[in-house]
Amino acid sequence: MSARTRKRAGRADLASGTGSGAARDMSSGTGSGELPKLASGTGSGAVRDMSSGTGSGAVRDMSSGTGSGELQELAPGTGSVGAHDLSAGTGAPGDAGLPAVLAQLPDADPGLAGLAPFAARLGYRFTRPALLRAALTTPSWVNEHGAAGWPSNACLEFLGDAVLGLVTADALWRRFPGLAEGTLTRLRASLVSETSLAAAARGIALGEQLFVGRGERSTGVLERDGALADALEAVLAASFLDARAAGRDPLAAARAVFMTLFGARLQALRPDDGVDPKSRLQALMQARHRRTPIYEAVGERPTGADPLWRVRITLTLPDGQVQVLATGEGGSLRLAEHAAAVAALAGLGD
């Protein structure tokens, strides 16, 4: 039996259910996932004119589908995961492209007008400022103001992380079209690291805009890299969702915010950025002198609760002369070596 013959046999005579696995004359499908009463489909795989399906996952009242696999005119589903009318704003998943937790926000909150100056610093004008307000609302604030109607920005961080990864990859590809995948991956990791995101957030004074609980505010949360990075991702997601709900290009909106935050750094980025300073210094010294820099701890080994290590980097040149490249300090030997390597690269103009 040919593949085409088997395909026909599997779909044959749905009214009497003679094909293997065929859906049989279901006018009132009540079982899980049943497809009720398929009528006169003209498109390959089209599903249409399904009525009164009440089972879990039933898809119903689809008419005049003409495209292959096309689903049209979905009426409100009554099954546990039924298809809803996606064009109607009901607060259900898919409402104007928004998840349910963001569909019903306190849009009449008088405090929203005060976010306009901050939104301007982002380089994006929100059609619905309530989405930006949600992005700036921390879980601690929600815990203390549960009746206010604002969700925490945790619901936006997940999407924001994905959007950030996409627009960063696109921007790097445009900036360095000839770089290998591994190098682009390293540069992306450098741009979207927690430290980098927090620095960008501080550049627009994002911490001053966060809605934080009174108890957490006293702990200095507004200066923590993690809190600032999370909020920045949430803001990026808010711009994406706001544009999509308004019928605009969501990625273009997210890209505009990204370039406002990271455009200058992106232009200054070099292919070797993101490489550990010690590795960069060693590669540079090997290329120039075929010598490896030496890291030496200076002074006695520090003790106490707050130790301060000092490290000196030296390089023995081919003629035997020892050159001090830089010194550095840090709370651990590793941090001191890192600081010394950064100082040496700066001194070498690299």
Distances (CA, A) of 118 to 141, 163, 200, 281: 19, 21, 14, 40
Residues 175 and 255 in one domain: yes
pTM of the model: 0.61
Residues 331 and 287 in one domain: yes
Residues 144 and 16 in one domain: no
Rounded to whole angstroms, the Cα distance separating 81 from 278 reads 55
Residues 262 and 314 in one domain: no
Residues 127 and 264 in one domain: yes
Catalytic residue among 34, 61, 230, 233: 233
Tokens representing 154 are 């945790």
Taking only the tens place, the pLDDT of each residue in 86-97 is 333 333 434 566
Has residue 305 been placed in a domain?
Answer: yes
Taking only the tens place, the pLDDT of each residue in 45-69 is 433 343 344 444 433 343 344 444 4
Domain that holds residue 325: 277-347
Residues 248 and 198 in one domain: yes
Per-residue burial over 73-108, b = 16 or more CB atoms within 10 Å of its CB, e = otherwise: ebbebebeebbbeeeeebeeebbbbbbeebbebeee
Using a CB cutoff of 8 Å and minimum separation of 24, what contacts does 97-100 make?
97/241, 97/244, 97/245, 97/250, 98/241, 98/245, 99/155
Provide mean pLDDT across the span 128-146. Answer: 94
pLDDT of residue 294: 96
Has residue 141 been placed in a domain?
Answer: yes
Residues 55 and 77 in one domain: yes
Domain count, the chain: 3
Our answer to whether residue 161 is catalytic in this structure is yes
Rounded to whole angstroms, the Cα distance separating 209 from 198 reads 14
Tokens representing 305 are 């609760």
Residues 154 and 122 in one domain: yes
Taking only the tens place, the pLDDT of each residue in 158-210 is 999 999 999 999 999 999 999 999 999 999 998 999 999 999 999 999 999 99
Has residue 90 been placed in a domain?
Answer: no
Which of 268, 293, 320 is the last residue before a domain boundary? 268
Catalytic residue among 85, 161, 225, 329: 161
Rounded to whole angstroms, the Cα distance separating 269 from 291 reads 27
Residues 115 and 261 in one domain: yes
Taking only the tens place, the pLDDT of each residue in 308-324 is 999 999 999 988 899 99
Has residue 203 been placed in a domain?
Answer: yes
Residues 6 or more apart from 308 whose CB is under 8 A from it?
302, 329, 330, 331
| Type of residue found at 142 | V
